[in-house]
Structure 1
Amino acid sequence: MSDQTEPTAEHLEREGDIAADYLEGLLDIADIDGDLELDVRQGRAYVSVESDDASLRALSDPDTVQALQELTRIAVQRETGEFSRMILDIGGSRETRRRELETLVEAAAEKLDAGATQASLPPMSSYERKLVHDIAAERDLLSESYGEGPSRHTVLRRA
């Protein structure tokens, strides 16, 4: 599949299956219980790990989830030969991060209300920047990403 071809639902489901197998292996090695759910959302495979196990809660730290997501993407790429944009959620970490990003956007909106012409947010992943763009649009703010690589960040302005 080329970079310009949208992945099919079948392809994304296969990515999810490969990711789930990889994650099950990691959880087994760490002796952590977890239930995996697979889904396809917004053109991406989405894998969610849920459990009441306290050890799983320790894995739900955003930096840890990001690292595990990258490892899982590499495992999927090794199997398929293609770049994966799958999303990993551990113990509701994605919803927690969305709430944190909403707080950042609200703080930026307050700066704009106080007279600032723009408000820059810290660097974040492409997935998080997409969430920021969505949150900003919900609040009638203009958003644009600037920078390269790990320093890429979002700048907000009033519409």
Structure 2
Amino acid sequence: MRKELTLHADSIEQAIAMACEQLQKGQEELKWDVIRDVKKSLFGKIKEQAEVTFYYEEQDVVEQPEVAETVTTTSVDEDTTKHKIEIATTYLKDVLSAMGLNDVHMDIDREEDNVKIVLEGDNMGVAIGRRGETLDALQYLVSLVANREEGDYVRFIIDSGNFREKREETLRHLAAKIAKTTLKTGRNSTLEPMNPYERRIIHSVVSEIEGVYSKSIGEEPNRKVVVISEHPRKSNRNGKGGNYHKKPRERRNYDDKDYVIPKDVSNQPSTYDFEKEFLKKSSDTKLYSKIEFDD
């Protein structure tokens, strides 16, 4: 049966990697169509993520006449899965022992190709680590070692003290809070680096809130989620009152008052010609005038 999966990512290569991780299939097992390529701004910032639809084949349920063959195949697959579980638990015990955790009980819960290993014991905080980082590292290493064996891929989930469920609940509350803050302020919010599973939780919650959307940026292991407002708030860059760049009029301080210099007055210093003004001859001016005395 042919099925499809549509993903959004910052590049086509990233979308392919996400599809392989989510479907637990190799790249050669997938076919895809690029619905929309990445759109970038003039300065290289991503304006719109790429949209890629992946197609893959899933085996149909075997009809009744082939029951005997199906049982045989299932038996082989089950033996392979059991063998991978043994490899995983043995490796995990050795690593925990090297960490100083010797008395650790492992509760194994299997559901088809998903195997959950729950660790119980003293001082489990060492196995969990800061925000589950050690737990994630153990889970990655166990999956890597166990799936070296031939057979279908088995997904291992390692948990302790119900940490996974509590972490998921915390992330859902965080995503809702950040999305509402972004919606209110109109400013983007960048979260701390997270693994792919935790980023999917954030994307899932944000996608349910109108007015905001999210995307992942950066490279592993420092890849982050950014929550973006669909209606960003514009900032005022015009300075004080919008007249910051206006050239002021030329003024002079005159008797503690602002005195505007008239345009018709020259700024050059004037000269005073004494002889020209007082020694020139004039018809209206006499050399001597009449002198009168009082009696």
Task: Compute the TM-score of the two structures, normalised by the length of structure 2.
Answer: 0.42
Opposite residue 122 of structure 1, the aligned amino acid is E
In the alignment, is residue 55 of structure 1 matched against residue 123 of structure 2?
yes
Identity %: 25
Give 5+ residue unaligned stretches, structure 1.
none
In the alignment, is residue 136 of structure 1 matched against residue 206 of structure 2?
yes
Is the radius of gyration larger for structure 1 or structure 2? Answer: 2
* SS in structure 1 at match of 2:180: helix
Structure with higher helix content: 1
In the alignment, is residue 23 of structure 1 matched against residue 47 of structure 2?
no
Indicate if the aligned counterparts of 1:45 and 1:86 stay in contact, CA closer than 8 A: yes
Opposite residue 47 of structure 1, the aligned amino acid is K
Structure 1 vs Structure 2 CA RMSD: 3.6
1:109-147 CA distance string (max 9 Å, x none): 232133224322122111111122223234455222222
Distance 1:68 1:107, change over 3 A: same
CA distance, structure 2, for counterparts of residue 88 and residue 130 of structure 1: 18
* SS in structure 2 at match of 1:150: coil
Give 5+ residue unaligned stretches, structure 2.
1-24, 31-55, 60-73, 231-295
In the alignment, is residue 14 of structure 1 matched against residue 81 of structure 2?
yes
Q: In the alignment, which of 186, 194, 202 is matched to residue 124 of structure 1?
A: 194
* SS in structure 2 at match of 1:86: strand
Q: In the alignment, which of 22, 30, 45 is matched to residue 114 of structure 2?
A: 45
Indicate if the aligned counterparts of 1:27 and 1:34 stay in contact, CA closer than 8 A: no
1:80-107 CA distance string (max 9 Å, x none): 4887653322221211221331232133
Task: Compute the TM-score of the two structures, normalised by the length of structure 1.
Answer: 0.71
Indicate if the aligned counterparts of 1:108 and 1:119 stay in contact, CA closer than 8 A: yes
Indicate if the aligned counterparts of 2:186 and 2:229 stay in contact, CA closer than 8 A: no
| Matched positions, count | 155
CA distance, structure 2, for counterparts of residue 37 and residue 157 of structure 1: 40
In the alignment, is residue 92 of structure 1 matched against residue 116 of structure 2?
no
